[in-house]
């Protein structure tokens, strides 16, 4: 599967997308899927406290069943170790920090993308942000291995612009870093040509999934997932959960976490049915 970053990407209003639940056998067209999912907003509802975004046992069981019949990877902006701890399944692949840190079965652990060179800048920017935003009630500066997330979900509306301004000023001080946007989050990430879409391509190549009979599915809810939707357009299937503040490169939609679980359950049964008849 090739990186088609120069291709023209089609974007649509999320409201106009068909439901991914409407025809799952037709969606995968007899091919074997490889499933890639974001964590927050897809496997667990988005909550005010990131540590409270706990995976239900029902969703964990669903993922385990799916991983027995196809490759499954969680691709998250969270630290890889953090999302691994939340999911607690050893037959899945995990791409943390937007794909800069990847692990999986068979002692796989690699850090593609060259982010280590940005660690000193992240260390300094983290300290500056925490100092400058310490008096803004509700602001939360979360240091990850390869990113800093500035959360303003719990900040009073009148103070949000201050959080954004401070974050922008700090970004200007460190050219090694670039801005990433999410739902009520501004991220400072390594200023490198690497994102969730490239992580998916890397995993497809590494796992030998670049085959005509394999179709990658990517399920995500956030602006950061658009890189993966755009990367897979024409080569796989993007599924947006809910909606965000922009148009999307996804081709299908699911409403919420409950829809995601229903989709994964039906997908598992569809794959089993295909395997029995091949």
Q: Which of 3, 13, 23, 38 is catalytic?
A: 38
Q: Is 38 a catalytic residue?
A: yes
| Token representation of residue 199 | 């992580």
The dihedrals phi and psi of 183, each to the nearest 5 degrees, come to -80, 105
> Does residue 272 sit in helix, strand or coil?
helix
Q: State the DSSP code for 16.
A: G
Q: State the DSSP code for 54.
A: P
Containing H/E element for 163? helix 157-173
> Does residue 188 sit in helix, strand or coil?
strand
> Does residue 160 sit in helix, strand or coil?
helix
Question: 176 exposed, middle or buried (CB, 10 Å; 0-12, 13-18, 19+)?
Answer: middle
Q: Are 92 and 72 in contact (CB under 8 A)?
A: yes
Q: State the DSSP code for 221.
A: -
Give me the helices (H) in 106-156, please.
119-132
> Does residue 79 sit in helix, strand or coil?
coil
Q: Are 240 and 221 in contact (CB under 8 A)?
A: yes
The dihedrals phi and psi of 52, each to the nearest 5 degrees, come to -90, 0
- Show which residues are catalytic: 38
């Amino acid at each position: 599967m090739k990186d088609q970053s120069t291709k023209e990407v089609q974007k649509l209003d999320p409201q106009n997308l068909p439901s991914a639940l409407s025809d799952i056998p037709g969606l995968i067209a007899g091919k074997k899927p490889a499933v890639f999912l974001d964590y927050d907003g897809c496997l667990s509802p988005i909550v005010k406290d990131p540590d409270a975004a706990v995976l239900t046992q029902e969703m964990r069981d669903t993922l385990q069943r799916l991983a027995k019949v196809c490759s499954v990877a969680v691709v998250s902006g969270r630290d890889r170790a953090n999302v691994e701890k939340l999911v607690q399944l050893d037959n899945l692949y995990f791409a943390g920090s937007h794909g800069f840190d990847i692990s999986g079965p068979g002692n796989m652990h690699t850090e593609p993308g060259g982010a280590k060179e940005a660690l000193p800048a992240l260390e300094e920017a983290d300290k500056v942000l925490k100092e400058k935003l310490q008096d803004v009630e509700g602001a939360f500066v979360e240091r990850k291995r390869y990113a800093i997330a500035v959360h303003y979900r719990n900040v009073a509306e009148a103070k949000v612009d201050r959080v954004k301004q401070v974050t922008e000023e700090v970004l200007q001080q460190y050219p090694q870093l670039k801005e990433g946007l999410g739902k009520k989050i501004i991220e400072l990430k390594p200023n490198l040509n690497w994102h969730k879409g490239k992580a998916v391509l890397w995993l497809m190549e590494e796992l030998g999934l670049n085959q005509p009979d394999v179709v990658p599915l990517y399920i995500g809810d956030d602006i950061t997932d658009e890189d993966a939707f755009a990367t897979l357009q024409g080569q796989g299937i993007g599924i947006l959960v809910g909606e965000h503040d922009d148009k999307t490169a996804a081709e299908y939609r699911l409403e919420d976490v409950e829809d995601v679980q229903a989709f994964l359950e039906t997908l598992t049964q569809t794959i089993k049915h295909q395997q029995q008849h091949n």
